[in-house]
């Protein structure tokens, strides 16, 4: 929806599709045309879910990284290993059978507390902070008894700021980027640790050290980045930002809303599918700019942070 908002605001003719055709009424409400049961080949295709990004990677009329880059980023254990080798973060330990032995190994190597999560999926998928081994064991057993097939990893727990770096690259060159800190999550009570991936309140941060880490994280994955790279980072106990995952080929949920303030990042990414860049936007949003949004509330920008 936010992608549609940004593209419509830029004057594009936008056509939306969804597996659930009933959802298309929202796209129509912001000026997009719904494609119900038909397909027309557009000038540019903008896939947003990870599954579509993976299936469309490498095809024409898209602004996407290579398929191998997308697949590497979507496997959090593989990406974490790349960053660990590059010295950007601590290890990720796969939790496989026998689960109790692997959990003991994780506790010995990482110490308490450590982070346990699924290797795929968004929104802090099945993630918990482990302070004792029986928590982790029963959490895994719960999902096993429900028939869920989950690949698990244990990682160092990072207690600091939750940061998100949106970046747009064109054949190895950084074209646009901005950094924000997530301050409040959508319905935090619905997850064990209060993390649901997408924020209701976030503010712009200018921090060159964090931007350098995010840039290094992207370059460690792909030596010639091309497309959108949305980098999640959290600070460790020493205040050093560590990469936790990259959404390669798609924007964060709210990039379309940030695009409505000044620089339309979503429009820029769509145009780059067809033309070479003639503009750059490095940290164009003012520091402290706060985006507040929630279900049924719309979105509001504030020049003075409304949340401390």
- Asked if the structure places residue 294 within a domain, the reply is yes
**HEC assignment per residue over the chain:** CHHHHHHHHCCCCCEECCCCHHHHHHHHHCCCEECCCCCCCCCCCCCCCHHHHHHHCCCCCCCCCCHHHHHHHHCHHHHHHHHHHCCCCCCCEEECCCHHHHHHHHHHHHCCCEEEEECCCCCCCCCEEECCHHHHHHHHHHHHHCCCCCCEEEEECCCCCEEEEEEEEECCEEEEEEEEEEEEECCHHHCCCCCCCCEEEEEEECCHHHHHHHHHHHHHHCCCCCEEEEEEEEECCCCCEEEEEEEECCCCCCHHHHCCCCCCHHHHHHHCCCCCCCCCEECCCCCCCEEEEECCCEEEEECCCCCC
Q: Which of 19, 234, 250, 245 is nearest to 125 (CA)?
A: 245
Domain shared by 194 and 181, yes or no: yes
Residue 304: its pLDDT value, please?
A: 61
Identify whether residues 128 and 240 lie together within a single domain: no
In a domain, 47, yes or no: no
Does residue 132 form part of some domain?
Answer: yes
Q: Are both 106 and 210 inside the same structural domain?
A: no
d(C-alpha 205, C-alpha 83), whole Å: 23
Assess whether 269 and 218 both reside in one domain.
yes
Measured CA distances, 106 to 4, 56, 100, 117, 118 (Å): 43, 36, 10, 13, 15
51 within a domain of the structure (yes/no) = no
Read off the tokens for 209.
């050290």
Residue 271, domain member (yes or no)? yes
Q: CB–CB of 295/199 below 8 Å?
A: no
Structural domain includes residue 270: yes
Residues 163 and 292 in one domain: yes
| Domain finish residue from 131, 156, 181 | 156
Task: Assess whether 140 and 204 both reside in one domain.
Answer: no
**Domain match, 112 and 172 both:** no
Domain extent at residue 273: 159-302
| Residues 15 and 117 reside in one and the same domain | no
Same-domain pairing of 106 and 231: no
Report yes or no on 60 lying in a domain.
no
User: Could you tell me if residue 253 is inside a domain?
Assistant: yes
Residues 235, 144 within the same domain: no
Cβ count near 97 (within 10 Å): 7
Euclidean distance between CA atoms 212 and 65, whole angstroms = 20
Q: Do residue 205 and residue 229 come from a single domain?
A: yes
Which pLDDT does position 124 carry in this prediction? 85
Domain ends where: 111, 138, 156? 156
Shared-domain flag, residues 201 and 276: yes
pLDDT reported for residue 177:
98
Cβ(163)–Cβ(246) below 8 Å? no
- Per-position pLDDT tens, the chain of length 308: 999 999 999 999 999 999 899 999 999 999 999 998 777 789 999 998 899 999 999 888 999 999 999 999 999 999 999 999 999 999 999 999 999 999 999 999 999 999 999 999 888 899 999 999 999 999 999 999 999 999 999 999 999 999 999 999 999 999 999 999 999 999 999 888 888 878 999 999 999 999 999 999 999 999 999 999 999 999 999 999 999 999 999 999 999 999 999 999 999 999 999 999 999 999 999 999 999 999 999 999 998 655 54
- Triad 64, 150, 68: Cα angle to 5°: 25
- Does the predicted TM-score (pTM) go above 0.75? yes
Domain harbouring 94, CATH code: 3.30.1490.20
Domain tally, the chain: 3
Select from 125, 156, 187 the last residue of a domain: 156
Q: What number of CA atoms fall less than 13 Å from residue 234's CA on the CB side?
A: 17
Query: Rounded to an integer, what is the distance from CA 66 to the centroid of its chain?
Result: 17
The residues pairing with 129 across neighbouring beta strands, listed in sequence order, are 115
């Amino acid at each position: 929806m936010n992608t549609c908002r940004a593209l419509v605001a830029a004057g594009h003719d936008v056509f939306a599709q969804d597996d659930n055709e009933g959802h298309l009424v929202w796209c129509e409400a912001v000026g997009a045309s719904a494609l119900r049961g038909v397909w027309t080949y557009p000038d540019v295709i903008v896939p947003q879910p990870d599954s579509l990004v993976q299936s469309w990677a490498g095809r024409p009329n898209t602004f996407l990284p290579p398929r191998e880059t997308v697949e590497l980023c979507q496997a959090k254990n593989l990406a974490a290993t790349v960053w660990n080798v590059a010295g950007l973060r601590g290890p990720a330990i796969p939790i496989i059978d026998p689960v109790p032995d692997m959990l003991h190994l994780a506790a010995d190597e990482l110490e308490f507390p450590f982070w346990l999560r699924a290797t795929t999926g968004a929104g802090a998928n099945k993630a918990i902070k482990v302070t004792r081994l029986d928590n982790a064991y029963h959490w895994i057993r719960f999902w096993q008894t429900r028939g869920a097939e989950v690949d698990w990893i244990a990682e160092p727990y990072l207690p600091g700021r939750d940061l998100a770096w949106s970046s747009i690259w064109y054949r190895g060159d950084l074209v646009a980027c901005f950094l924000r800190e997530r301050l409040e999550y959508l319905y935090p009570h619905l997850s064990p640790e209060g993390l649901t991936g997408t924020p209701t309140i976030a503010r712009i941060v200018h921090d060159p050290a964090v931007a350098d880490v995010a840039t290094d994280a992207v370059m460690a994955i792909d030596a010639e980045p091309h497309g959108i790279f949305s980098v999640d980072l959290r600070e460790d106990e020493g205040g050093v930002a560590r990469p936790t995952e990259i959404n390669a080929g798609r924007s964060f949920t709210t990039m379309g809303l940030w695009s409505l303030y000044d620089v339309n990042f979503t429009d820029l990414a769509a145009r780059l599918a067809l033309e070479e860049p003639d503009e750059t936007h490095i940290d164009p949003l003012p520091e402290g700019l706060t985006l507040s949004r929630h279900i049924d509330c719309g979105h509001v920008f504030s020049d003075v942070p409304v949340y401390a």
